[in-house]
Amino acid sequence: MRILVGISGGIAAYKAITLVRRLRDAGCEVQVVLTESAAQFVTPLSLQAVSGAPVRSSLFDAAAEAGMDHIALARWADQVIIAPASADVLARMANGMANDLLTTLVLATSAPVSVAPAMNRQMWAHPAVQVNIATLKARGVRVIGPASGAQACGELGAGRMEEPEAIASALLAPTSSVNWQGKRVVITAGGTREPIDPVRFIANRSSGKMGFALAASAQAAGAAVTLICGPNALPTPSGVTRIEVETALEMQAAVMGVAQMDVFIGAAAVADYRVAEPATHKIKKIIDADTLTLTLVKNPDIIRTVALRQPKPFVVGFAAETEQLNHYAHQKRVAKGMDMICANWVGDGLAFDQPDNALTVLWAGGEHRLMRAEKFTLAVQLVELINQVMKQS
């Protein structure tokens, strides 16, 4: 994929270097265009080093424009992303201006255009900015973010540029043919941690990547998505509501706290057991004892609990197995009242903490194999399959 990265002026411009690297790591060809003010924050040399291509900043570059290079750039791109997109560049785009190379390219390209706004919280909330955003959305421009949090000015609120990893994920996620506008989707992701004492816990190898990819895919299909996840450092997919938990009990409470859901996807690797009574202080090593006994109690079955809700959502679960994949997955689906289960092999470098996976998807009277692919691609395919089976049920 060929992606044109436009960078406008603002302190968040430094994040564009990481964005370019993430896109290049994913195999994309990247070219960069800087506005005049962006060059005050990041240098063309730095961006040329990470992109592997010359950086353009002027519409009046005699050498380049002799061949109408701005038109060639506009035709070259499969996607255009402006990150950060300042209030100024958003206003100029909304009004169809072409007074520098970046805004000229936006008018000259037929490729999809995305923007990642970045500005002070008061600027973001200003009616003029919101009108410009609404205008751009109406024209088909995708708005990624902004995020909320601490800003360079010292204030807190909405206006932070989305993290580069989240922007890259949004750009690289395959498009979906599913229309889930109006649907409420709840997804669990990642592993849980069950405390042993204040410094130790029982955990598993789940990275949460599949659940996060599903959240991005469901959101791209138009759903209102709530992502309930165990501890991890993955960026929140744009437009997704994230709830962070640590233990299985906390995850159950968060899931049951969601008032309404049409689809529930339990992609989390929830611990089956927890320590009955975690120690209140760090457990010390006993010099003359070679073993330590922990009493474990069973955790609640979140998926089974959701399947008993009324009205019942369409319930999708996962089964990670090391043997008899279909047999155990079928038993699990029936026992827990799932509508669909996604089974995959684990161990020996498969599935857990890997960028790709393969799934055998089972439902009452049906089975479909999703061949090994990158998890964002799998997520789109799985959402499409869920949509088909829902229509048939």
Q: Nearest 5°: phi and psi at 19?
A: -60, -45
Tokens representing residue 59 in the block: 């519409």
H/E element, 82: strand 79-85
pTM exceeding 0.75: no
H/E element, 242: strand 241-244
Q: pLDDT tens digits, the chain, 393 residues: what are they?
A: 899 999 999 899 999 999 999 999 888 899 999 999 999 999 999 999 999 999 998 876 655 554 446 688 889 999 999 999 999 999 999 999 999 999 999 999 999 999 999 999 999 999 999 999 999 999 989 998 888 777 777 777 888 898 898 888 888 876 678 999 999 999 999 999 999 999 999 998 888 989 998 998 999 898 999 999 999 888 888 789 999 999 999 999 999 999 899 999 999 999 999 999 999 999 998 888 889 899 999 999 999 999 999 999 999 999 988 888 889 999 999 999 999 999 988 766 555 666 678 899 999 989 999 988 878 888 989 999 999 999 987
How far apart CA 57 and CA 104 sit, in angstroms, is 12
Torsion of the alpha carbons at 357, 175, 147 and 86, rounded to the nearest 10 = 140
Is residue 8 within 8 Å of 116, Cβ to Cβ?
no
Nearest C-alpha neighbor of 266 from the set 375, 186, 330: 186
Q: How far is CA 228 from the centre of its chain?
A: 13
Contact partners, residue 170, CB within 8 Å, separation at least 6: 114, 142, 144, 162, 216, 237, 238
Q: How far is CA 50 from the centre of its chain?
A: 23
- Which residues participate in catalysis according to the annotation? 153
Residue 15's CB is within 10 A of a number of other CB atoms, namely 22
pLDDT at 174: 66
H/E element, 101: helix 101-108
Hey, what domains does the chain have and what are their CATH numbers? 2-172 (3.40.50.1950), 184-392 (3.40.50.10300)
